[in-house]
Structure 1
Amino acid sequence: MSGELKRRILSGIVLAVVILAATYYGGNWFRLVAALTALLIYYEWSTMTRLAERNFRTNAFGWVIIGLLAADLVLNEGVFSVPVLGGATITAILLVLLGRANWWLPGGIVYSGLSGISLAAIRADDQAGLMAMLFIFAVVWATDILAYFVGRALKGPKLAPRISPGKTWSGAVGGTVSAIIASSALTLVVFSRLSLWTIVIAFLLSVASQIGDLFESFIKRRFGVKDSSHLIPGHGGVMDRVDGLVFACFAAFLLSVAYSALAGRPEMPVAAFLFGF
């Protein structure tokens, strides 16, 4: 076994243990992981898109905003995170329109900030939040793993050859089907029932996960980099590992917010949306 493979396996095990332990315990432990994820994603985003090289001040603005969001998640349970993210995004867009920044600034603020907010909101502090997070893990991991193996086995037409030449339609379909099966099995084990609603949600989250994967591939191809960073030995960067996960969380969180607003239930947890409570 090569040294690189050993580092990859070891770092993968450590990362999995830390994430699963934080997910299990929830509370401040998971919010700390969510906050750290937001900070590391902004670091990788700003590095890849060369925000600091283009304009040090506007990049510093991005760092201040993500730092405030991270602090709010850990110290105040994210009470002010959504308003802060909304205001910062509008400000960043105005900076772009005034010619003082480019569109990668608001993009990075939204991408990294929403990553932390959606992760923390989904896990919440109760047992239902734990189940919701495990549901999304099941969707994303099943999508990733089976898309790879089914795609290699069946091959066929490319999904997005200009962005990620290795991905195929057969892999995408195989990943989505396996995500529905895995998340449905988890739901049946935990709740002893399964609705069409949850199956549809699993389908949408699997599609979102694959879009997230393609989105990060587009950014890396756009800026000519192989990995988002070298923070994780043998695995590249944080964005390389969570690209599909954060997009699935985006979808779960935003769909939940939209549904709760339409249903007149502003305090409805994400878990209630996912499982149709």
Structure 2
Amino acid sequence: MPRLISGAVMVGVGVFAIWMGGIWFQALVSIATGLMIWELTRMVAPEVAARGVLFGQFSVALIMAVPQIGALWILPWVIGLALVATLTMPRRSSIYAIFFSAILIAGYGLVTFRSLNGVTWLFWMVIVVVVTDVFGYFAGRFIGGPKFWPRVSPKKTWSGTVAGWIGAGLVGAIFLVYTTAGRDLIWISMLLSFASQMGDVAESALKRRVGVKDSSNLIPGHGGLFDRFDGLLGAALFMLLVASLVEVPEVRF
């Protein structure tokens, strides 16, 4: 029951913030980014977990300031904050720097992607991530088979991985019917699904490296924010890369 209730709350808050956009979505992403930075700090170096609160606050401020900073200056700010935070780590500083920067850049990517490309694209991204996770879970549970990457993620199977790609392709096909998106959306959805899975694998590798089961216990029945949104982080980084290389067309229902 706690898992169902907390899951319903997350879905409700997320849908509301995505639909409203603006300060609502920016605030949600900022707070989530700050909390994941705190979780990352306490995972990598529990003895200095208190510093994670400070770094999390700076991260919230940075994401909230994205409209004022702009795309040109965001990277130096991210690098600077990551460098300062990393230099205070007593151990695993390189791992910390990589994940710290990835979380911040993904937060920036989500805010700018919603602002520049609209609500339809963001709903598509979130739905692809959710469907990838759901299809992967049930295929892995009921089909099983060879493991995808047993040293890093012992529970992830090839059947679940491929099922996630198929589910993402179906999402792309549905969006083709009900939106003005182009035909490439099907295979782009499948690539986005893979990026989401790599986000999940990366966080699993981190947890195995530091010896923890969950990033925190913030969400009853789910663990931490990092545990639930690792796939979305991977997807956001992928779409940020795509948007920087090609022009993302406007899409509407």
- Give the unaligned 5+ runs of structure 2: none
Q: Does 1:25 align with 2:20?
A: yes
Residue-by-residue CA offset, 1:83-118 (whole Å, 9 max, x unaligned): 244344267559979x98721342243122112101
The partner residue of 1:222 within 189, 209, 213 is 209
Q: Does 1:48 align with 2:43?
A: yes
CA distance in 2, matches of 1:182, 1:233: 29
Q: Does 1:72 align with 2:65?
A: yes
Q: Does 1:123 align with 2:104?
A: no
Residue-by-residue CA offset, 1:123-174 (whole Å, 9 max, x unaligned): 116xx51100111012111110001111222211100111111111111011
Q: Does 1:154 align with 2:147?
A: no
Q: What does residue 89 of structure 1 align with?
A: 79
Residue-by-residue CA offset, 1:160-208 (whole Å, 9 max, x unaligned): 11111111111101110111111320232122x641x212211211000
User: Which deviates the most, 132-141 or 116-125?
Assistant: 116-125
CA distance in 2, matches of 1:82, 1:18: 30
| Distance change >3 Å, CA 27–CA 246, structure 1 → 2 | same
Q: What does residue 267 of structure 1 align with?
A: none
Contact 2:78 2:105 in 1 (8 A): no
CA distance in 1, matches of 2:12, 2:86: 41
RMSD: 2.8
Q: What does residue 250 of structure 1 align with?
A: 237
TM-score, normalising length: structure 2: 0.87
The partner residue of 1:240 within 220, 223, 227 is 227
Percent of residue pairs identical = 32
- Give the unaligned 5+ runs of structure 1: 1-5, 261-269
Contact 2:41 2:48 in 1 (8 A): no
Q: Does 1:11 align with 2:6?
A: yes
Letter in 1 for 2:131: A
CA distance in 2, matches of 1:61, 1:107: 18
Residue-by-residue CA offset, 1:205-238 (whole Å, 9 max, x unaligned): 1000000011111111111111110111111000
Contact 2:132 2:165 in 1 (8 A): yes
CA distance in 2, matches of 1:33, 1:91: 20
Q: What does residue 109 of structure 1 align with?
A: 100
Letter in 2 for 1:138: I
Q: What does residue 170 of structure 2 align with?
A: 181
Name which one, 1 or 2, has greater alpha-carbon Rg.
Answer: 1
Contact 2:171 2:189 in 1 (8 A): no
CA distance in 1, matches of 2:57, 2:17: 26
Contact 2:42 2:49 in 1 (8 A): no
How many residues in Structure 1 have an aligned counterpart in Structure 2? 250
Letter in 2 for 1:83: W
| Distance change >3 Å, CA 161–CA 100, structure 1 → 2 | closer
